[in-house]
Amino acid sequence: MEHHLFPDEVIDAIIDRATFSSAWTFFKRTGRGHNRMARRFLKEKLPLQALDTLDETCDQDTFEEVLSYPYDIFDLSLEQLIEKMDITRKKGYKCGPKVLLNVLTLLSKCNLGKMYSSYMQSLFFDMIREHPMLVAKQEFSQVVLDNNLDNSMLIKQLICKEAFTLNGMVDPELLISTCGCKVDRYGWRETLHLLLEMVEPERAYQSALDAATGDEVVFSIIREAMHAKVIVDPTEALLFTCSRDISAKKEPLASGLKAGLLKLNDYIISQMIPMDAEAVMLFELAGKGSYPLPESLRSVLDMQCNIGVTLLFEAWCNLEKADKETCLKLAERLTAEVLPREALFILNTHLKFDKSPEVAEAVKAASEMEATVASLFDERRHYPYCVT
């Protein structure tokens, strides 16, 4: 009997039940049963052959199963993958979200994946229409953003708006870093506006600030954030991005700290302060802005940094609660710099009830220094023209 006289049910039964080699031989001879053979290939762990077998006679479920398989990108033909996806479009099949994410991921992993960025964007928007709530998940939109070849802000904005509208959130740090979207002097406003449409203001301004390039952009974003009453941490931007001395901007920065609109990373400053002039400047700014930096103060006292004792005393006054070691070291430093009253103020304020020998010794040294200073003043009062 000729094979073309076999009913479809018989063809399917033979491919399903025969040994694999017999089913494969039968399929090659008859050229029928693509749907069943594709599934049989998958069952036999031959996904590439299953992909090759897909044609217009296969049903939607088979396309779904084959196209969602996690292929090895080094063995896969992207042209063939796109060809099979085009068949689903021609047939009017609705590919599920697993297929979408799998195809987008495979295209993005290939070294030539950027060549398919337009196709990926088109596929993404098709899937927004078909599975809006599922496509809203971050991983879908992020894969498309990561492979935006022309780095078009318009495309990014469209994708992010769609994802945001559908309750999806695109990670702003990934948006900036993986798309090459540097926040420079020419595009920082557009990037900031895009981020503000995607996430809450605090995260938007901070992400833009972390990716800023150049002094002008850093200070512009800080100024915009302060104007919008949004709290940001400019520590890393000021330490690692700005090329000029930040002292020229110390007044607005100190005002921002005092108003609670800026915060500083105490740990980073404490690690940088022994060797970095900008970190010292931030420490001074914190003092002017009444901003506490306990770790940085300890680091300064441990390293014996060349910072004025009045600034150290000011930094101590900003602390909500100073530890014993910090109080003793600063009192010792103040006594050595002939500021015994400030030293006694620290000891009597925070360590008044501490009866340990080291506290007693520090109080004794400061008191003796105070007496010495007082006697010198008395001597000058009685002998105003004496030269000492």
**153 located within any domain:** no
Quick check: is 154 in a domain? no
Residues 246 and 293 reside in one and the same domain: yes
Do 266 and 313 lie in a common domain? yes
Q: Based on the fold, state whether residues 246 and 315 are members of the same structural domain.
A: yes
Residue 138 within any structural domain of the chain = no
Does residue 316 sit in the same domain as residue 332?
Answer: no
Same domain, 345 and 313: no
User: Cα dihedral sign for 89, 92, 93, 94?
Assistant: positive
Residues 307 and 339 in one domain: no
Length reported for the chain = 388
Q: Which residues 6+ apart lie within 8 Å of 186 measured at CB?
A: none
Last residue of a domain, one of 293, 320, 347: 320
At 230-240, the pLDDT tens digits run 999 999 988 88
Residues 302 and 357 in one domain: no
Task: Label residue 1 by pLDDT band (50, 70, 90).
Answer: very low
Interval 150-159 mean pLDDT = 55
Domain ranges, residue 333: 327-388
385 part of a folded domain? yes
Q: Which residues contact 366 (CB under 8 A, 6 or more apart)?
A: 331, 334, 335, 340, 343, 344, 347
How far is it between the farthest Cα atoms of the chain?
134
Domain boundary, last residue among 266, 287, 320: 320
> pTM to 2 decimals?
0.59
Q: Are residues 382 and 357 in the same domain?
A: yes
Answer yes or no: are the C-beta atoms of 350 and 385 closer than 8 Å.
Answer: no
With respect to residue 260, please indicate whether it lies within any of the assigned structural domains. Answer: yes
Q: pLDDT tens for residues 35-85?
A: 999 999 999 999 999 999 999 999 999 999 999 998 887 788 888 988 999
pLDDT of residue 83: 92
Of 266, 299, 320, which residue constitutes the final position of a domain?
Answer: 320
Considering only residues 117 and 236, tell me which one the structure prediction assigns the higher pLDDT: 236
High-pLDDT (> 70) share of the chain, % = 77
Domain count, the chain: 2
- Residue 161's CB: how many other CB atoms inside 10 A? 14
**Co-location of 315 and 247 in the same domain:** yes
DSSP state of 164: H
288 and 349, same domain (yes or no): no
Domain contains 98? no
- With tokens 């301004």, the residue in question is 205
Q: 231, 215 in Cβ contact below 8 A?
A: no
Asked whether residue 66 is domain-assigned, the answer is no
Q: Which one, of 111, 172, 91, 100, lies nearest residue 136 by Cα?
A: 100
Q: Say if residue 241 is in the same domain as residue 314.
A: yes
Indicate whether 276 and 312 sit together in one domain.
Answer: yes
Is 156 part of any domain?
no
